[in-house]
């Protein structure tokens, strides 16, 4: 039986429609990402692990800005399973722990372990993971429930999404987080 006082919470970071309006948006990895993320959500619901929904908002409050509420895109990514969030926060920085009240809520709930998933692998998910680790939380970085996109390098090359995921796993593993699959994250949480 699951402990009624959760010590683990899922941080579902920036899984929002805003990204579909970005020029780098590609559908290639989205079906697998949604499948893994929805399995993670379902597992957390089954084990009564609270899910924190994090939305990113920034820039001018204008309909042309995909990360502005006025755009109508600061909402769950199409295909994401429905769930009742234990908490929903909006962030304006890369780390979900900055300016959101999330750290206070996590401490009030007695949360000691975080599962991190969402968009983008190397940006907000990685930054939140590093910050959470430095603040004393144990972090499970659920790599298969993160999504990113190819990026141009300063020298003019291209890093593929797969290379970025590998780089993120490399720099986080054993330093800031345990890299997990969905099944491993759920097993460690209960």
**110-159 per-position pLDDT tens digit:** 999 999 999 999 999 999 999 999 999 999 999 999 999 999 999 999 99
Residue 93's pLDDT is 97
The pTM assigned to this predicted structure is 0.95
Task: Work out how many domains the chain is built from and give that number.
Answer: 1
Range of the structural domain that residue 176 is part of: 8-189
Average pLDDT over the chain, rounded to an integer? 96
Look at residue 34 and tell me if it is in a domain.
yes
Look at residue 50 and tell me if it is in a domain.
yes
Look at residue 53 and tell me if it is in a domain.
yes
Domain containing residue 113: CATH number: 3.40.50.850
Look at residue 76 and tell me if it is in a domain.
yes
DSSP for the chain reads ---SS-SEEEEEE--BGGGGGSTT--STTHHHHHHHHHHHHHHHHHTT--EEEEEE--S-SSTT-TTSGGGT--SBPTTPPP---SEEEEESSSSTTSSSSHHHHHHHHT--EEEEEEE-IIIIIHHHHHHHHHTT-EEEEEEEEEE---EE-TTS-EE-HHHHHHHHHHHHBTTTBEEE-HHHHHHHH-
Look at residue 54 and tell me if it is in a domain.
yes
Look at residue 45 and tell me if it is in a domain.
yes
**159-185 per-position pLDDT tens digit:** 999 999 999 999 999 999 999 999 999
Look at residue 3 and tell me if it is in a domain.
no
Pick from 3-7, 17-21, 52-56, 136-140: least confident: 3-7
Instruction: Assign 190 a pLDDT band (cuts: 50, 70, 90).
Output: confident
């Amino acid at each position: 039986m699951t402990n009624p006082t959760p010590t683990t919470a899922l941080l579902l970071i920036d899984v929002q429609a805003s990204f579909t309006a970005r020029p780098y948006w590609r559908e290639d990895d989205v079906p697998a990402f949604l499948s893994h993320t929805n399995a993670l959500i379902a597992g957390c619901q089954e084990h009564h692990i609270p899910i924190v929904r994090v939305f990113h908002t920034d820039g001018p409050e204008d309909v042309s800005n995909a990360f502005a509420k006025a755009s109508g895109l600061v909402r769950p990514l199409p295909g994401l399973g429905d769930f009742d969030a234990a908490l929903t926060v909006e962030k304006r920085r890369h780390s979900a722990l900055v300016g959101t009240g999330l750290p206070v809520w996590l401490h009030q709930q007695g949360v000691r372990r975080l599962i991190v998933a969402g968009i983008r692998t190397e940006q907000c998910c990685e930054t939140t993971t590093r910050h959470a680790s430095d603040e004393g939380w144990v972090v499970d970085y659920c790599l298969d429930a993160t999504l990113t996109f190819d990026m141009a390098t300063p020298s003019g090359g291209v890093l593929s999404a797969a290379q970025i995921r590998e780089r993120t796993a490399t720099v986080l593993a054993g330093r800031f987080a345990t890299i997990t699959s969905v099944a491993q994250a759920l097993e460690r949480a209960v």
